Amino acid sequence: MPIKNDKSSLLDEISTLKTLSQGFPKLKKFLNFPSLNNSANPLDFLLDLIKTLVGFDEFKNETIRFLTYQVIPIEAQLKSFLKSLLKSLFSCNTDALIPNDLFNVGVNISIKQIDFFDMLKIDPLSDTGSMTYGSLQEDLNHVIYDSIQNGISTWKDLLEITFSTFGIVDGEQTNNVFTIKIDSFYEGKTINDFINDFIDKIQIITLPFLINRIFDNMFGVISMNSNRSKESIQREEELFSLVDKVIDLPDLLINDSYFEFDEKDLSNITEKSNSRYNGIRNLMDCNNFESKIEIEDLLALNEELQSPILIEIEKTITNRFEIIAINSLNGVEEINKDRGLLNFYFSFFKGIIYGIFNLLLSPKLILFFSVYYKIVSNSVGFTNFKEFLTVNKAFIEKIVIDFLLPLLIKFLLKIIIRELTKLIAKDQIERQKERYSNFQKQLLSLLGISDDILKLL
């Protein structure tokens, strides 16, 4: 049976169960649900299931709780996953001493090899920089930017970064080059010692930066106010398109064709890039309305999220998301506003994967990958974004399939199972009541007692 029929059958069964247990009119056959095709994308289908089970208010609250209480654990899980993944993919789980050249000579890497999305063109002290970088001493992205301004920077007794306007990269003279040296503390230590210490000390995901990235990927508001080039935004959209392809893999196997975009892919990528470049999001469900959000709302949210108290963070996200969501629909016809709010929160949730990938492919992580590849294979292995994607396709597949996708699926299934349990329990109660009523009527009939007499007893 085609997967479309299976999905439609399951949705119809849930619709029937909801009708029996809650007395709701039976839902239609969900012909407008995009997941009802032969796509293997599990996220789309689970989100459509949730649409049949809960309203967007409840889903919004679940998403806010997820952001508030799960990002810190996700950071720890991701670091552990990265340690294992790097060792298994690139060093065959073997270990060796760090070569002396990495302490004395270092490795040269051009800025275009690590800054795929033009982050280092944004001043950390600007408004948009405050939503993109961490503090100077803690955030390696900020330290890299500082090396461009001052020539040399160090980070946490692990790295020394020197910037030159030109240098030799892979035997060729190149503009804007970083020379990366590992701190002499690691002389005589192993590659795994360096990997573990680096990943332990770096901050990959923070709640403010993740939320900022998701909103920028949806609306382009930070990119527009940072004067990012359309080309760098398009590279991000190419990454997201690739991530979608990986999620939709029917056989869990990536081949080179997944890294080629057909005419339809390119048209979609260009359309999304143009929208983000202009700071808008087209809502097809609302007559293609051009939705926008204000940078001031994000700045306020970013500042308030610095609180260390989780209950305050949850309250902040709840309040600010409501403001941003409502403002994003200014001008939408009243009849379409509920649909627009549903689109806002479901799109934000789907954007968590893209946001985490943004943070994973920021300059600080790409710089680390470059040094690591140089250690284990004596070659960085890529010179531009497309080569990075192609060379690291197994890495991208593993991050999506083995880490990010299970993380979000587990969250969605928890909601679905909880709601189904409620429906089934209520349905069973109603069925028991009906059985008892029928039994009572049969008994009274046998005894020759009418319902009217029973009511008087």
The DSSP code sequence of 227-252 is T--HHHHHHHHHHHHHHHHHHT-SSS
253 confidence band (pLDDT: 50, 70, 90):
low
Give pairs for 429-434: CB < 8 Å, separation 24+. 430/20, 430/21
Top pLDDT among 67 and 250 is at: 67
Lowest mean pLDDT among 40-54, 135-149, 227-241, 271-285: 40-54
Mean pLDDT of the chain: 84
How far is it between the farthest Cα atoms of the chain?
Answer: 104
- Helix, strand, coil fractions of the chain, as percent rounded to 5: 65, 10, 25
pLDDT for 9 equals 61
Q: Which amino acid is at 25?
A: P
285 confidence band (pLDDT: 50, 70, 90):
confident
Q: Which residues are registered as beta bridge partners of 162?
A: 152, 179
Give 420-435 pLDDT, tens digit per residue.
777 777 666 666 666 6
Please state, in angstroms and rounded to a whole number, the distance separating the CA atoms of residues 192 and 190: 5
Please state, in angstroms and rounded to a whole number, the distance separating the CA atoms of residues 74 and 67: 10
DSSP reduced 3-state for 315: helix
29 confidence band (pLDDT: 50, 70, 90):
very low
pLDDT for 52 equals 78
pLDDT for 7 equals 57
pLDDT for 18 equals 58
Give pairs for 223-226: CB < 8 Å, separation 24+. 223/276, 223/277, 223/279, 224/276, 224/277, 224/278, 224/279, 225/127, 225/128, 225/279, 225/295, 226/121, 226/122, 226/126, 226/128, 226/129, 226/132
Section 102-131 average pLDDT: 94
* End-to-end Cα separation, the chain, in angstroms: 56
Q: In whole angstroms, how large is the CA radius of gyration of the chain? A: 27
Lowest mean pLDDT among 67-76, 272-281, 284-293, 302-311: 284-293
Section 213-223 average pLDDT: 96
3 confidence band (pLDDT: 50, 70, 90):
very low
Please state, in angstroms and rounded to a whole number, the distance separating the CA atoms of residues 98 and 91: 13
CB atoms within 10 A of CB 455: 7
How much of the chain, in percent, has pLDDT values that exceed 70? 80
247 confidence band (pLDDT: 50, 70, 90):
confident
